[in-house]
């Protein structure tokens, strides 16, 4: 039988354990006076929330990693949590099912939180995990609104947490582009085309009966109340909640986290925000992001683009790797740390060495905001100027209404000072 969250998981054996009581306590590294540093030979104790499609995919990546001990799982759909816990038994003896993620945030023995919920829960869980002294690995897209993009980075910095956004494709699929670009192989970059799906859309599906064991109110969280429908909360990669504006920013944001993220990384612009977003029409073929240095990014809805980067001396296409230019010289680019081969190993190394990871929240939040600006531009149907310092559009009250959104109680996101 899977244990509930009221039971205590065994961590490192301490010589003093026998003098405490029969039930062993799990002590986190900062309790032992190590200032939160986990020795290289000790595992990072983690709990995982969100056991849908993506959660199921990455569960084994964490639980099967030598640097992690995933002690339990959490999902508002009981059957998904039970199924994940059964699978977790392959790596963890007697895994715990936590009724709510708040239950494992209270535990002092847990070092890190893995979050693979739908997008509208990412910021709240990540912020509260930082406040509880946990490091965080959160799936992409990292945030839902520009305000959330600011909040989530502020929380990571305020509480000095190691936080990674979960787009593995930025490095593992598109990372090869960065040395080519930085070496000058295609000259000065002028344009970037990213082929992506559309923005978020309204959802007006009919009401269906809520399945037994599914906490529908909690699944909705901060989103507006709506009747249950299986498609509304489906984790399908081809539909489901990803396409609805109450829970995500459409497939533009879903794949934008990868393709815009990879392109921004390749150009060294992933901490930079555009100054203008041009609405398509007339001479403007695609939704266009204009940077202060003149570089233009396009949401390419036609033309067969995956990622196409156009420079003064050539073109780099992700869909024509055999024909790609090669780096002209050896250059330094941001890479996974400590010899890590993937984003999970990078997170582990950075947690143990207290170093910001390859996809630190700043990069993930910036890419998410990039997609949010496009969604807002599509919504108001006109070109916009963006003031990054003020986190607002210039002289456009209607567009600024979408910088944040009303959050349904009691699921509001804690504000950072």
The domains located in the chain, with CATH, are 3-168 (3.40.50.720), 171-200+248-400 (3.30.360.10)
Q: For residues 340-357, b (16+ Cβ closer than 10 Å) or e, as one string?
A: beebbbbbbbbbbeeeeb
User: Residue 417's pLDDT is what?
Assistant: 76
User: Residue 281's pLDDT is what?
Assistant: 95
Q: 199: how many CB neighbours lie within 10 A of its CB?
A: 24
What confidence tens digit (pLDDT) does each residue in 254-289 have?
999 999 999 999 999 999 999 999 999 999 999 999
Give CA separation, 387 vs 88, 150, 154, 289, in Å.
Answer: 46, 13, 18, 13
335 pLDDT higher than 80: yes
> First-to-last CA distance in the chain?
44
| Distinct helix (H) and strand (E) counts, the chain | 13, 15
345 pLDDT higher than 60: yes
190 or 11, which is more confident?
A: 190
User: Residue 321's pLDDT is what?
Assistant: 67
Mean pLDDT of 297-306: 95
Distance CA(233)–CA(222), nearest Å, equals 14
33 pLDDT higher than 70: no
User: Residue 408's pLDDT is what?
Assistant: 97
pTM of the model: 0.91
Distance CA(249)–CA(148), nearest Å, equals 13
Mean pLDDT of 45-54: 96
Mean pLDDT of 60-89: 98
CB 352 within 8 A of CB 40: yes
Tokens of 56: 């199921």
Percentage of residues in the chain having pLDDT higher than 70 = 91
Q: Give kind and range of the element (H or E) at residue 378.
A: helix 361-380
What confidence tens digit (pLDDT) does each residue in 358-398 have?
999 999 999 999 999 999 999 999 999 999 999 999 999 99
| pLDDT bucket at 320, cuts 50 / 70 / 90 | low
Mean pLDDT of 5-24: 31
Q: 32: how many CB neighbours lie within 10 A of its CB?
A: 12
Percentage of residues in the chain having pLDDT higher than 90 = 87
| pLDDT bucket at 322, cuts 50 / 70 / 90 | confident
Mean pLDDT of 117-135: 98
42 pLDDT higher than 60: yes
Non-local CB neighbours of 389 within 8 Å, separated by 6+ positions: none
Mean pLDDT of the chain: 91
35 pLDDT higher than 80: no
């Amino acid at each position: 039988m899977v244990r509930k969250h009221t039971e205590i998981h065994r961590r490192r054996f301490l010589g003093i354990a026998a003098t405490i009581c029969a039930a062993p306590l799990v002590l986190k590294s900062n309790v032992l006076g190590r200032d939160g540093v986990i020795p290289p030979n000790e595992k990072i104790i983690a709990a995982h929330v969100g056991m849908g499609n993506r959660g199921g995919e990455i569960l084994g990546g964490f639980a099967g990693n030598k640097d992690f001990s995933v002690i339990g799982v959490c999902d508002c759909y009981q059957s998904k949590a039970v199924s994940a816990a059964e699978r977790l038994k392959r790596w963890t003896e007697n895994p715990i099912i936590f009724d709510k993620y708040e239950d494992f945030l209270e535990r002092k023995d847990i070092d890190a939180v893995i979050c693979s919920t739908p997008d509208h829960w990412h910021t709240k869980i990540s912020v509260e995990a930082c406040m509880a002294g946990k490091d965080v690995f959160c799936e992409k897209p990292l945030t839902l609104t520009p305000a959330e993009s600011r909040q989530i980075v502020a929380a990571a910095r305020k509480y000095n947490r190691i936080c990674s956004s979960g787009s593995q494709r930025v490095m593992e699929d598109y990372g090869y582009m960065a040395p080519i670009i930085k070496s000058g192989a295609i000259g000065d970059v002028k344009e970037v085309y990213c082929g992506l799906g559309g923005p978020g859309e309204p959802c007006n599906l009919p009401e269906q009966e809520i399945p037994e064991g599914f906490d529908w109110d909690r699944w909705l969280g901060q989103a507006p109340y709506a009747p249950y429908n299986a498609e509304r909360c489906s984790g399908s990669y081809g539909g489901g909640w990803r396409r609805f504006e109450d829970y995500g920013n459409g497939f533009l944001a879903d794949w934008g986290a990868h393709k815009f993220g990879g392109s921004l990384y390749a150009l060294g612009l992933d901490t930079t925000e555009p100054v203008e977003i041009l609405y398509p029409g007339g001479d403007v073929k695609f939704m266009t992001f204009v940077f202060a240095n003149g570089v233009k990014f396009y949401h390419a809805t036609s033309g067969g683009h995956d990622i196409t980067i156009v420079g003064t001396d050539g073109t780099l296409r992700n869909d024509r790797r055999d024909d790609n230019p090669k780096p002209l010289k050896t250059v330094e680019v941001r890479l996974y740390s400590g010899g890590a081969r993937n984003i999970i190993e990078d997170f582990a190394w950075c947690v143990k060495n207290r170093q910001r990871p390859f996809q630190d929240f700043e990069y993930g939040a910036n890419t998410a905001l990039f997609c949010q600006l496009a969604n807002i531009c599509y919504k108001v149907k006109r070109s916009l100027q963006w003031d990054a310092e003020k986190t607002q559009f210039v002289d456009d009250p209607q567009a600024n209404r979408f910088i944040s959104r009303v959050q349904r109680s009691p699921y509001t996101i804690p504000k950072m000072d």
